[in-house]
Structure formats: structure tokens, C-alpha cells
Amino acid sequence: MQGWLRKTAIWQAVLVIAILAWGLSEGLRAIALPAAQQRLQPNLNGEAFLAGRTAGAINHIMAHNLPIDPWARAAGGLFRWGLFRSGGPQVRVGCDGWLFLTEELRPWPDAEAIMAERVDALARIRDRLAARNIALLVAVVPDKARVHGDRLCGAPLSAQSAARYDRLMAALSAKDLAPVPLLPPLQALAARQDAYWRTDTHWNQDGAAVAAQAIAARAQGVGIDRPGGFATTRDAALTPGPGDLLRLMGLDILPDGLRPRIDRQHLARTREPEASGGLLDDAGAPQVTLIGSSYSVNANFHGALQEALGAKVTNLARAGGGFSGAASDYFAGATFRESPPRLIIWEIPERVIGQPITPEERAFFAR
């Protein structure tokens, strides 16, 4: 009996040592990552150590950069999906493999007042731009849950979310901002084929192209040079689509058999006209600037917009920029100051319009 207890104690000690060694190895691998080093290096000094910033940096690295993290997230996501067909707190599961961002479906406190504040800010910016002979074109991207609402299949849509798009368009029109109505062409496309990805928040390449054509049609009255010559082609091979909702579920690193099947695409690429020593060489800076969110940096929207306009567009949109992140950076930067365009296209996701205003955004409104 004593021999068995001794062997058990030895194996327990070996197991503990192995776990500690594995944990140390994971920690060292995390610290060695470039992103971790970028955070850690400024805090490797005596002052930072005494102030607790060194420990804080290491804690952040251990919380966000452990190599095992993606697999731990995948295990949790697989458990939720496999047993309950749940997407977790950020993703709502529809039918036929369709996923939706919970942000689109939920209500936000004081959303009406927040929407009004943002619309007022847009009107003030429009007036300041008009004083400099710069046109502003506002394009509201409808929620995926609105365009493909038939794929929600019972997922609850709040009353606020249901009314949000119409109220926003009415508020913009009341301020003479004349927003581009993207919902009708996207709904018409969705009646024939998918306009948004099943497993991603954003419009797909066909939806982006339809939106670009609607924006270009509204911009016809703006006096910009339109040399044309842009051409879009698609790769022959099918490749995986973006799938950001799978990432939010923790399932992005798993194969399709263990998760909703990821979208596939023939990747679209828009070629700009080659310089020929003539008009294009003397054109100077682009006369159109695009600011907005991740919708403007996905699905070849930028290329489709240039082709539809027949003009080069400077794309300063920013993924994760929400309502005004890209605009705030652009209007404060040298590009706007030194090379102002004739037309600014401001793309705004519908879902962000009633979300809380950050201190940085309010400071931007007050400029």
C-alpha cells in the first residue's frame, strides 16, 4: 500500500512539474511574440517596474498573447456550437448557416438622442465643407439583418433596430444631407442572390458592387474628372471568404465540418488605368476621398467604387472606425489640409448610429 502511495505521489509531482514547465514554455513563447515585445519593451526599466507598469504589461501579454488562446477559444466555441447551436454573446445564429452580429439586433440606451447628435454633427461638417466647395455624400450601409432578415429565422430583432434605418434616413433628409438609399438596390440583389456573406458581417463582392453603383449614380452631379479605364476581374479559383463572425465565435481555426461552412469567393480585383504620359499623369491628387468603416475596406468596395465613378478614389476608411473614427483622423490630417478633394464619400454602418458616443468622438464634434 505504501509503495502504491509513493508511486502515486511521484506521478503527481511529475504531472505538476510537467504542467508548470508547459505553462512556463507558453509564457515565454507569448513574451517572444512581436506584439508582446512592442508592449513590453517600453516598460523594461526601473521606473516602470516600481510603478507596476512592467507587471501590468506582462499580465496583458499573458491574457491576450498566449499561443494556446486560439485553441482554448475554439474549444469553448465548439462546445457552444456543437451542443446548443449557439454563437456566443456576439453572434446570433440564423438558419441555413447564416450568422448575424448581435449589435445589429439589440437596442441601445438613448439611441434617438445619440442619432440626432450624430446627424447634427454631419450637417455642421457638410456646411463647413460646402464653404470650401467640397461636396459631402453620405452613404448608410444597411444592417445585414435588415437586408437578409428572412435568414434570421426567429432570432429576435428589437423594435429599436427594426425602426432604426427609416428613422436615420428621415433624420438625414430633414437636414438636407440627401443620403444615398442603399437599401433598395441591396434588397433587390438579395431577392436574387446573397448580398452579404453568410459567416461575415459585411456585404459580399456583389453587394459592394451594387452599393458602389448606387453611390456613383448619386455623385453624377458633382464636378470631378472621370478619366475611366478601371476594370474589375475575378480570380478563377475559389478561395475562403473573410468569416469574421466565425472568429467572434472562436471557430475560425476549425475545419468546416465542425462549424458553419465558411463562404467562398472568386476574389475580385480592380485594376487602375496605366499612366500614359497624358491626362492621368497631370491629374494630380485624387478628387474623391472615401472615409468610413470596414465596409469600405472589404469585398473590393473601393475598387468597385472607382470603376463605377470612373475616377480614382483615396480610401482612408478604417476598420473598426465606427461612425467617425476615419473622419476624425482625416479632417485633422495633412492630406485633407494640403490636398482637399472635391467630393467626400462618408460611408456609415447603420448599426453604429445609436451606439454610445465616445469622449474622442465628442471632442471631434466640438472641433
Sign of CA dihedral 293, 352, 212, 207: positive
Query: At CA 184, angle to CA 192 and CA 191, rounded to 5?
Result: 15
Task: Please tell me the distance from the alpha carbon of residue 263 to that of residue 340, in angstroms, as a whole number.
Answer: 39
What pLDDT score was predicted for residue 280? 47
Scan for cell 480570380, then name that residue: 235
User: Which DSSP string do the residues of 270-328 spell out, in sequence order?
Assistant: EEPPPP-SSTGGG--S-SEEEE-SGGGTSTTHHHHHHHHHTS-EEE---TT-TTTHHHH
Task: Give me the count of residues in the chain.
Answer: 367
Strand partners, 234: 268
Cβ contact 287:224 at 8 Å: yes
Task: Please tell me the distance from the alpha carbon of residue 44 to that of residue 55, in angstroms, as a whole number.
Answer: 10
pTM score: 0.83
What pLDDT score was predicted for residue 15? 45
Which residue ranges of the chain lie beneath pLDDT 70?
1-33, 35-36, 38-40, 47-69, 275-283
What pLDDT score was predicted for residue 156? 81
What pLDDT score was predicted for residue 118? 98
Q: How many CB atoms lie within 10 A of CB 1?
A: 5
Percent of all residues in the chain with a pLDDT value above 70, rounded to a whole number: 81
What pLDDT score was predicted for residue 19? 38
Task: Please tell me the distance from the alpha carbon of residue 175 to that of residue 119, in angstroms, as a whole number.
Answer: 8
Task: Please tell me the distance from the alpha carbon of residue 70 to that of residue 76, in angstroms, as a whole number.
Answer: 10
For 242-259, the pLDDT digits (tens) are 999 999 999 999 999 999
For 290-326, the pLDDT digits (tens) are 999 999 999 999 999 999 999 999 999 999 999 999 9
For the packed helices 53-64 and 2-32, what is the interaxial angle rounded to 10 degrees?
A: 100
- Maximum Cα interatomic distance, the chain, rounded to a whole number of Å: 94
Strand partners, 270: 232
Task: Please tell me the distance from the alpha carbon of residue 365 to that of residue 328, in angstroms, as a whole number.
Answer: 9
Alpha helix stretches (DSSP H) within 175-277: 183-190, 205-218, 244-249
Q: Phi and psi dihedrals of 101, rounded to 5?
A: -75, 130
Task: Please tell me the distance from the alpha carbon of residue 182 to that of residue 169, in angstroms, as a whole number.
Answer: 11
Alpha helix stretches (DSSP H) within the chain: 2-32, 34-40, 46-51, 53-64, 69-84, 102-105, 111-130, 144-147, 159-174, 183-190, 205-218, 244-249, 301-309, 325-331, 334-338, 359-365
